[in-house]
Amino acid sequence: MEADYVIVGAGSAGCAMAYRLAEAGRSVIVIEHGGSDAGPFIQMPGALSYPMNMPMYDWGFRTEPEPHLGGRRLATPRGKVIGGSSSINGMVFVRGHARDFDHWADTGAAGWSYADVLPYFRRMETWHGGDAGEFRGTSGPLHVSRGPRTNPLFHAFVEAGRQAGYEVTSDYNGQKQEGFGPMEATIYKGRRWSAANAYLKPALKRPNCTLTRAFARRVVIENGRATGVEVERGGAVSVIRARAEVILAASSINTPKILMLSGIGSAAHLAEHGIPVVADRPGVGANLQDHLEIYMQYASRQPITLFRYWNLLGKAWVGAQWLLTGGGIGASNQFESCAFIRSDKGVDYPDIQYHFLPIAVRYDGKAAAEGHGFQAHVGPMRSKSRGAITLASADPKQAPKIFFNYMSHPDDWSEFRKCVRLTREIFAQDAFAPFVRHEIQPGAAVESDDDIDAFIREHAESAYHPCGTARMGRRDDAMAVVDPECRVIGVEGLRVADSSIFPRITNGNLNGPSIMVGEKAADHILGRGMLSPANSEPWLSPRWAAAQR
């Protein structure tokens, strides 16, 4: 098999690149180890807790014991299916804050400022939220919508934020991220609108784009140039050749693993596993980041939460209604209100995110708490902790070692304590008086710094936003892995385009920025000019230096 471009990974960025490269007339082969995304567990938004816990769809990664979280090993789901993690995630759509991308540019990712990336966010989306204006797109492959917010709890959350003195925003993905408002999702006509539905399936209708199911072992590099990908199918090893370039889009977990198995990484680490060095890039696998969060849960005074469906009959009803009509509770991910706030004065843009959910339940759906209840997922956005992906062995079939080093920076603890106390203040507002019975967790007795820290240590969970393990930067930056055109430094004909290249984690969920990376990388790969930079100015609180809200 041979094509102009071979893309490893049919995930968020890989699907977008396949679409744009095929659209431009190039021949593309997409390699994906996972299988079909057909079936209600993936396509029904309300079933989101199922696919990320199914070995059929998830790689099943777990972290190494995390020393600052009591030695716990945390789940690290990554999609093993067409659409990648966009087929198993919570479907929440967040672009990130303008300042995130300006920071990328300031730290060596020239051409990736907010002005540079906004045109790609616009190109990729069809927004169903109202008048698009200068910030939103209206004709892209990715449909972005809002839930109906029929449950009064969604409105109570936004009103409580306003009563507490926070901003309200009509569109956190537009000019003004800061504030309380409606949450957006990659849902269209009651179905998960994954990167597979948005990009890959239309691309595969073209004769010049094909998908092959195979396990990518390593990149084949000959005389300093990537010429193909070694894959395993049905127990047989073969090579899929790339006439122009190989592009890795295999996730921030698997991309650095494949790079290292191909001889690109820290020379000392590769030597430990007997792998010949092609390019000594110590940044491969380093700079691993994520968002941690806790669930602040409250018992409800009124039986209006999703707990009414938390039984076999209720779930059957929700599923049947969705299968027959495409609507009902199952047509929403139930994350329909949210907030982005600043933790303190002197913080110039939001560093805390909220997802509000009208049921008190674990994210994996395995345990509901105390009957009717609701919860806010809350956590800091810009942790200073950094971890790493390393090889467990030179065997491609063995999962890499994943060590986030969560909560290793002292600021993480003070930021999380603020999250707890600010959240309690929000739920104490009059808007929630008809609804709050009592705090389920952490619980009213958890008040002191030590008590809150103990709760965080035991209960903090990943928000499943790993990134940064092949970061973008200047070519003379020893820790950079790719240059601002996504080219792997030190190897010809090889690029990386997925969340691995993020220099620093963005505000919010990472699916949106990952798709944007695929969109923008496609223009770099095609060698054509970038979309013209935008002149749109984001909103920053005029009080940020002096006030927290």
- pLDDT tens digits, one per residue of 533-549: 999 999 999 999 999 99
Please provide the size of the chain in residues: 549
Which residues are part of the catalytic machinery? 465
Give the pLDDT of residue 361: 87
- The tens digit of pLDDT for each residue in 428-475 reads 999 999 999 999 999 999 999 999 999 999 999 999 999 999 999 999
Give Cα separations from 256 to 199, 244, 264, 281 (angstroms).
Answer: 24, 21, 9, 11
Note the helical H segments in 357-409. Answer: none
Q: How many Cα atoms sit within 13 Å of 322 on the Cβ side?
A: 24
**Any bridge partners for residue 417, and if so which?**
none
Give the pLDDT of residue 336: 98
Which residues, 6+ apart, have CB-to-CB distance to 199 below 8 Å? 15, 16, 18, 19, 141, 142
Which residues, 6+ apart, have CB-to-CB distance to 84 below 8 Å? 9, 10, 11, 12, 14, 15, 34, 78, 195, 251
Burial status of residue 74 (CB atoms within 10 A of its CB: 0-12, 13-18, 19 or more): buried
| Ordered per-residue pLDDT tens for the chain, 549 residues | 999 999 999 999 999 999 999 999 999 999 999 999 998 999 999 999 999 989 999 999 999 999 999 999 999 999 999 999 999 999 999 999 999 999 999 999 999 999 999 999 999 999 999 999 999 999 999 999 999 999 999 999 999 999 999 999 999 999 999 999 999 999 999 999 999 999 999 999 999 999 999 999 999 999 999 999 999 999 999 999 999 999 999 999 999 999 999 999 999 999 999 999 999 999 999 999 999 999 999 999 999 999 999 899 999 999 999 999 999 999 999 999 999 999 999 999 999 999 999 999 876 666 667 789 999 999 999 999 999 999 999 999 999 999 999 999 999 999 999 999 999 999 999 999 999 999 999 999 999 999 999 999 999 999 999 999 999 999 999 999 999 999 999 999 999 999 999 999 999 999 999 999 999 999 999 998 999 999 999 999 999 999 999
Q: For residue 463, which phi and psi values (nearest 5 degrees)?
A: -90, 5
Which is nearest to 500 in space by CA: 241, 227, 281, 353? 281
**Integer distance in angstroms from the first to the last C-alpha of the chain?**
58
Which is nearest to 446 in space by CA: 438, 464, 398? 438
Q: What is the DSSP letter of 61?
A: E
- Distance, CA of 66 to CA of 405 (rounded, Å): 6
Give Cα separations from 37 to 46, 167, 189 (angstroms).
Answer: 15, 39, 17
Residue 71 and residue 485 in contact, taking contact as beta carbons nearer than 8 Å:
no
Give the pLDDT of residue 368: 67
Q: How many CB atoms lie within 10 A of CB 367?
A: 8
- Distance, CA of 303 to CA of 315 (rounded, Å): 17
Give the pLDDT of residue 370: 76
Residue 462 and residue 468 in contact, taking contact as beta carbons nearer than 8 Å:
no
Q: How many Cα atoms sit within 13 Å of 43 on the Cβ side?
A: 16
Residue 121 and residue 514 in contact, taking contact as beta carbons nearer than 8 Å:
no
Residue 158 and residue 519 in contact, taking contact as beta carbons nearer than 8 Å:
no
Q: What is the reported pTM?
A: 0.98
Residue 118 and residue 135 in contact, taking contact as beta carbons nearer than 8 Å:
yes
With tokens 């094509």, the residue in question is 3
Maximal CA-CA distance, the chain: 70
**Residue 385: both structure tokens together:** 């902790």
Q: How many CB atoms lie within 10 A of CB 370?
A: 15
**Residue 326: both structure tokens together:** 């495409």
In the chain, helix, strand, coil percent, each to 5? Answer: 30, 25, 45
- Distance, CA of 62 to CA of 40 (rounded, Å): 26
Q: What is the DSSP letter of 463?
A: -
Domains within the chain, CATH numbers bracketed:
148-182+292-380+408-459 (3.30.410.40)
Residue 1 and residue 201 in contact, taking contact as beta carbons nearer than 8 Å:
no
**Residue 51: both structure tokens together:** 């696919």
Which residues, 6+ apart, have CB-to-CB distance to 431 below 8 Å? 156, 157, 159, 160, 163
**Would strands 352-357 and 2-8 be described as parallel, antiparallel, or unpaired?**
unpaired
**Any bridge partners for residue 292, and if so which?**
462
Q: What is the DSSP letter of 223?
A: T
**Would strands 225-233 and 215-222 be described as parallel, antiparallel, or unpaired?**
antiparallel
The answer to whether the Cα torsion of 212, 218, 222, 225 is positive or negative is positive
Which is nearest to 456 in space by CA: 415, 499, 515, 422? 415
CA angle 211, 122, 340 (to 5 degrees): 105
- Distance, CA of 240 to CA of 260 (rounded, Å): 19
3-state DSSP of 29-43: EEEECCECCCCHHHH
Give Cα separations from 520 to 284, 333, 491, 515 (angstroms).
Answer: 22, 28, 21, 9
Angular region, 446: left φ>0, alpha ψ -120 to 50, beta rest: beta
Which value, in Å, is the radius of gyration of the alpha carbons in the chain? 22
**Any bridge partners for residue 368, and if so which?**
361
